[in-house]
Structure 1
């Protein structure tokens, strides 16, 4: 019984900390900071960044993150409707959805440490 409980606990942690996959901006929550990371499959820094984001998500209820690649459903909508200049991977943005529109709070080029991301999340400054 104890083994089953431990297994269920770790499975729940794993599913809680997974990157969200939104199909449209309409699906994104309005009450959370959303970290959008543009990525490619062969990027080791992108995978490293995901580990940092999982750690942040475990301690913050008002935070979501998503990995976006050019094969994601939402990719075209984001690139066509928002100024997301992506020249290096990972390129990431902290956004907040207000009145159905994404407002970019901050842009990151390349891998970011947990402390750098938390500093921006805890700041009231806008991009």
Structure 2
């Protein structure tokens, strides 16, 4: 019984730190830093970046991250309505949602170490 409980606990932790799936900007929270990572399925650096983001999420309640590919529902909305220039993968943005609109705080081109992301999250400066 104890093993079953322990297994369920670890599964719930894994689910809790998974990338969120938002179908529109309206669904995104207003009170958090949101890390949007544009990726493609064949990108090994994108997968490495997700591991870094999971580690950050484990220690921050005010942080969400999402992986966006061209087959995601939200992809078209983001590309059409916001200045998200995508030239390399992963390309990522830290955004805040205010009054229903996304505001880009910072842009990253390529894979980023945890320390680089935390430095921006802990800064009061915007892009």
What TM bracket, shorter-length normalisation? over 0.9
SS where residue 65 of structure 1 aligns? strand
Q: CA deviation at 1:81?
A: 0.2
Aligned to 1:84: 84
Q: CA deviation at 1:19?
A: 0.2
The count of aligned residue pairs is 127
What pairs up with 1:27-66 in 2 under 5 angstroms? 27-66=27-66
For 1:103 and 1:94, locate their aligned partners in 2 and report how far apart those are by CA, in whole Å: 9
Aligned Cα root-mean-square deviation (Å): 0.4
Q: Is 1:96 matched with 2:96? A: yes
Q: Is 1:11 matched with 2:16? A: no
Q: CA deviation at 1:90?
A: 0.1
Q: CA deviation at 1:2?
A: 1.3
Q: Is 1:106 matched with 2:106? A: yes
Aligned to 1:124: 124
SS where residue 46 of structure 1 aligns? helix
3-12 vs 85-94, greater mean Cα deviation: 3-12
Aligned to 1:71: 71
SS where residue 67 of structure 1 aligns? strand
Q: CA deviation at 1:5?
A: 1.4
Q: Which deviations, in whole Å up to 9, do the C-alpha atoms of 1:44-73 show, x marking residues without a partner?
A: 000000000000000000000000000000
Runs of 4+ in 1 over 6 A off after TM superposition: none
Aligned to 1:2: 2
Q: CA deviation at 1:94?
A: 0.0
Q: Is 1:20 matched with 2:20? A: yes
TM-score, structure 1 normalization: 0.99
Unaligned runs of 5+ in 1: none
For 2:17 and 2:61, locate their aligned partners in 1 and report how far apart those are by CA, in whole Å: 11
